Amino acid sequence: MVEVKVYKGGSVATQDVDAGAFGAKVLGRTLKDAVVMYEANQRQGTVRAKTRSQVRGGNTKLYPQKHTGRARMGTTKSPIWRGGGRIHPPQPRDLSYSMPKKARRVALRNAIFTKFRDGEVGIADGWPADVPSTKSAIAILSQLDMGRSVTVVTDGADKTVYKSLRNVPLVDVACLDDLNARQVLLRRYLVLTPAAYESLEKRFAQTAGDKA
């Protein structure tokens, strides 16, 4: 059992939560592989440099091959000349790859477990419902003392909560279906809505007996 801060009705209390559904230990290698994969999948891979066949310039030999006392040179597009092409330059490529679904699931479960273990999880109700309000949303995070670096997780796509917090530095809003290990570890605190916590607990309850 771990203690979790719970915000409800304008006050904060602590509640004992069974984190057993999220495992008993951290599989560090699986967690690291998942984070590296998500980081790689965000790379655009658009960096590009020109080879000697792509740079601008002529192919006329600059001076005779012999009897000038100078090094042999054929074109200004040579990689050894300033402004010439590059040898083996980077080219646009797809850097994304995928891990097995089960491994991604284990990584997410491990990431959430670390947050529960370190006391960095909060459950909050009373978010703006009809009209976006940054002031109200920040007040909830301030009451939980988790306003410096936090990921707020909602059960479904909640545009009102998203619009309330989208301009706040170091605060992200994520839908439960889009949550991944990298996003959990990106911010220090994890704040869940009651519906998101119930759905998350139900999702991982089936694998509570795993060694991970």
Q: Which domains does the chain have, with CATH numbers?
A: 2-44+97-205 (3.40.1370.10), 49-89 (no CATH)
User: Helix 101-117 vs helix 194-205: angle between axes, to the nearest 10 degrees?
Assistant: 130
In sequence order, what are the beta bridge partners of 172?
151
Residue 71 in tokens:
């090094």
Residue 173 predicted with pLDDT over 90: yes
Query: What is the Cα–Cα distance from 47 to 110, expressed in whole angstroms?
Result: 34
Residue matched to tokens 């279906």: 177
Residue 211 predicted with pLDDT over 60: no
Tens-place pLDDT, residues 36-52 = 999 999 999 999 999 99
Exposed e or buried b for every residue in 100-123, given b needs 16+ CB within 10 A? eeebbbbbbbbbbbbbbbeebbbb
- pTM here is 0.79
Tell me what pLDDT residue 33 has: 94
Residue 100 predicted with pLDDT over 90: yes
Tell me what pLDDT residue 206 has: 56
Mean pLDDT for the chain overall: 89
> Which of 20, 29, 19 lies closest to 103, judged by CA?
29
Query: What is the Cα–Cα distance from 187 to 125, expressed in whole angstroms?
Result: 20
**Mean pLDDT on 118-135:** 90
**Mean pLDDT on 72-91:** 92
